[in-house]
Amino acid sequence: MSERLSRMYEANQQTLSSGDPEENCEFSREYPTLFAFLTVSRMNGKNRLTGTILVFWEDGKAKLWVNDRDRKRVSFVTGETYAEVLRACDEGIAQGTLSWRAKKGSYDGPWQGNNKRS
């Protein structure tokens, strides 16, 4: 897992800080890079904003919005099933193949308390 995450962030170490989810769960085994993207809050001794995702169904397709809060960018994945978009996201992060866009405004999702959209 650290090798995949290191490629993404051009770093060579990662650590989970206390209070983070347990690493040995079904989700972390199935989607290790996505799990790290969502949970690793310290890298190389520096704080890092964890990523967020939103998974939903629209127009007969599974869709996933990826929010890299640390780098202020977003990406979108579409597929036939939820498993397909989660797998594509995990592989895209690991291989650096997601098509990232600069995040506009300060909206981080409905769970953040700052619901202002720009």
- DSSP category for residue 22: P
**Residue 11 scores a pLDDT above 60:** no
- When divided into structural domains, the chain yields a total of 1
Q: Which residue has the higher pLDDT, 99 or 110?
A: 99
pTM: 0.72
DSSP string, 89-116: HHHHHHHT-S--EEPPSS---TTSS---
Residue 59 domain-assigned?
yes
Tell me the two tokens of residue 59. 């127009």
Query: Is residue 73 within 8 Å of residue 103, measured between CB atoms?
Result: yes
Residue 110 domain-assigned?
no
Region 4-8: mean pLDDT is: 53
Please, which pLDDT band fits residue 17 given cuts at 50, 70 and 90?
very low
Residue 117 domain-assigned?
no
The helix/strand/coil state of 29 is helix
Residue 114 domain-assigned?
no
Q: Rounded CA gap, 33 and 86, in Å? A: 11
Note the helical H segments in the chain. 2-9, 26-30, 32-39, 82-95
**Residue 113 scores a pLDDT above 70:** no
Domain that holds residue 12: 2-102
pLDDT of residue 116: 40
Residue 116 domain-assigned?
no
Closest CA to 100 of 75, 77, 76: 75
